[in-house]
Amino acid sequence: MKLENVQKEDSQLIQKKMIADHFNRLSHAKELGKKVVYTFVPGNLNELIWALDMLPVHPEINALQSGMRQLSGGYIIEAEKAGHSEDVCTYVKCDVGMLKQGNIGPTGEKLPAPDLLLLSYTGCFTFMKWFEILQKEYNCPVVMLQVPYQGDGEITAGMRQYVVDQLRDIVIPALEKVAGRKLDSERLHTFLTSSARSEEDLVAVWDSARHHPSPIDAYFGGVYYIGPIFTAFRGLAECEQYYRSLRKEVEYRIQNHQGPTTPEGLFNNQKFRLVVEGPPNWTSFRDLWKMFYGEGAVVVASTYTKVGGLYEYGFRHDPDRPFESMADYCLGCYTNRNIPTRIEMLEKYMSDFEADGFIINSIKSCNSFSAGQLLMLRELEKRTGKPGAFIESDLVDPRYFSAANIKNRLDSYFQMVEARRS
C-alpha cells in the first residue's frame, strides 16, 4: 500500500499549541494564583472548573502520555516497589510512579499539586481507590459526585435529579470554597454554549466515516480527535477553533475521496472497514496502528472514543439547563452503560458504518472495559453475521504488549474476513 508523505494539518498544530500552553499554565499555577483541580475524563465537569477560574488536570491523560513517551514502564516499576500489585490498573501505577519521580508533565515541566480532588464516579470503581491514594499523597480535600450506574440501560428522572442535587449542594460549594469565589452563572453559560458547538462539529466528524473511503480513522485517529473535548479544553474558544478546523479538513478529504492521515501519510487504499471495542495500547501505539493500516484496515467506529461522552445520540451541553445537562453527560458516558447497551451500540456501529468485522482489544488491567468482552464478541457475531477478533494488551505497561502475537492474530483475522467476503 502506498502512503503519501505525512504533513501536519492545521488542527494538529492547534491541538499541539493548546496542550503546550495548558501545561505551561499549570507549571506556573501558584505564581499565577490559580487553584488546581485533579479530575477524571469520564463525566468531567470542565465547564464548572473553568467558570471558577481554576485549572484542570486529568491523571489518566498524564499516564497515557507517559506511555506514548516510553516513560510509563519505569513509573509502573516505581509504584510496584512501593507495594502496588501487578494487577492494579496501570494508569494508577503510572501516575503514582510519576508522582514519586517528581511529577514531571509531558512538556518537561513539573505539575502542581492539587488543591482539590474532584471525583466524578462514572462506572469505574478504580477511580475511587485512585483518589484515595492521591489524597494520602497530597493531603488535600476530596469531593465526590456519585453518578448512578445505568443498570437498566436508561437515564431516569430520579437519577438525573440525584446528580443535580449533588452538583448544587455538594460539588459547587466545595469548588467555590477552594476557588475563593462564587460561581458566575453567566460565565458558566458561555462555556456550556461553546461546548455544544464543539460537540456538534465532533459528531459531524464521527458521521463522516460512513463515506467510502472513510476520511477518518475513528480509533487511532479518533484518540487525537477527542483530545481537546474530553480533557482540559471543552468550553474554551480554542477548543471550538480546533473542531471547526478538524471538520473542515475532514470535509475536504470527503470531497477529494481521501482517507485519514496516518503517521506515514494519507491512507486511501482501504480494504477492510472495522469497529473496535476497548482502549488502545499506548506504549506501542504507532506499531499497533501500523498493523491495521499496513493491511488496509480502517476503523470506522470505536467505543473507546466515547469513554468521555456520547454525542451521536443527540446529547449536547445545554446552557439553559446547565446542571441537568451536566448530569446527563455524566450519566451517559460509555463506561457507565451496561453490557446489553454496549452490545447494541456496537451492533448499530456495524450496520451504520457498513463494517466488515470488529475487533476487541482486551486490556489486562482495565476491568471497566474488559469485563464481559468475550460475551460481547459472541453476541455480536451472532447478531451481525460478521467475524470478530480478540487481541490482548495493556494500557501503559510495555510488559504486556506482544507485537508478534498480536500481528499473527490480526493477519489471520484479515485473511478470514477477506475469505468470507469473497
186: which residues sit within 8 A by CB, 6+ positions away? none
* Tally of domains in the chain: 2
Fill in the amino acid letter for 272. Answer: F
Domain of 140, CATH number, reads: 3.40.50.11890
Whether residue 212 lies inside any domain: the answer is yes
The answer to whether residue 44 sits within a structural domain is yes
Per-residue model confidence as pLDDT tens digits over 360-388: 999 988 888 888 899 999 999 999 999 99
How wide is the angle at C-alpha 92 spanned by C-alphas 89 and 97, nearest 5°?
125
Is a pLDDT exceeding 60 seen at residue 5? Answer: no
- List, in order, residues 6 or more apart from 303 with CB less than 8 Å away: 276, 277, 278, 334, 342, 345, 346
Over residues 259-279, the pLDDT tens digits come to 999 999 999 999 999 999 999
Domain boundary residue among 165, 184, 203?
184
Do residues 175 and 30 both lie within one domain?
yes
- Provide the percentage of residues in the chain whose pLDDT is more than 90: 88
Average per-residue pLDDT for the chain: 94
Query: From CA 379, how far away is CA 275, in angstroms rounded?
Result: 15
CB 383 within 8 A of CB 358: no
pLDDT at 308 > cutoff 70: yes
State whether residue 18 is helix, strand or coil.
helix
Boundary (domain end) residue, out of 169, 184, 199: 184
Residues 172 and 205 in one domain: no
**Claim to verify: residue 112 and residue 251 sit in the same structural domain:** no
Co-location of 349 and 218 in the same domain = yes
**Predicted pLDDT at 1:** 45
Residues 157 and 226 grouped into a single domain: no
Segments forming the whole domain that contains residue 130: 10-184
For the cut 70, the answer to whether the pLDDT of residue 3 exceeds it is no
Same-domain check for residues 145 and 194: no
Do 38 and 88 have their domain in common?
A: yes
pLDDT at 421: 81
pLDDT of residue 422: 76
Examine the domain organization and report whether 172 and 207 are in the same domain. Answer: no
Please say if the pLDDT value at position 207 is more than 90.
yes
SS3 label, residue 61: helix
Has residue 24 been placed in a domain?
yes
What is the rounded CA–CA span in Å between residue 171 and residue 51? 13
Does some domain include residue 110? Answer: yes
**Residue ending a domain, choose from 135, 164, 184:** 184
Domain contains 81: yes
For residues 112-121, give the mean pLDDT: 93
Q: How many other C-beta atoms are found inside a 10 Å radius of the C-beta of residue 370?
A: 18
Domain CATH number, residue 233: 3.40.50.11900
Q: What mean pLDDT is predicted for residues 327-335? A: 94
- Average pLDDT (75-94) is 92
Look at the pTM and tell me if it is higher than 0.75: yes
Cis peptide before 213 (omega within 30 of 0): yes
* 208, 353: one domain: yes
- In the prediction, which pLDDT does 125 show? 81
Please report which confidence band the pLDDT of residue 126 belongs to, taking 50, 70 and 90 as the band edges.
confident
Assess if residue 2 is contained within a domain.
no
Residue 2 has pLDDT above 50, yes or no: no
Mark whether 297 and 165 lie in a shared domain.
no
Domain identity same for 30 and 175: yes
Within-domain flag for 3: no
**pLDDT of residue 6 exceeding 60:** no
CA distance 38 to 111: 11
The reported pLDDT for the residue numbered 196 is 97
93-107, 119-133, 295-309, 333-347: least confident range: 119-133
- Asked whether residue 149 falls in the same domain as residue 172, the answer is yes
- Exposed, middle or buried: residue 348 (CB in 10 Å: 0-12, 13-18, 19+)? middle
Segment 42-64, tens digit of pLDDT: 989 999 999 999 999 999 999 99
Cβ 263 vs Cβ 8: under 8 Å: no
Between 280 and 87, whose confidence is greater? 280
Beta carbons of 26 and 57 less than 8 angstroms apart? yes
pLDDT of residue 7: 59
Alpha-carbon distance values, 381 to 320, 349, 385 (Å): 43, 13, 5
5 belongs to a structural domain: no
Mean pLDDT over residues 323-333, rounded? Answer: 95
| pLDDT tier at 35, thresholds 50, 70, 90 | very high
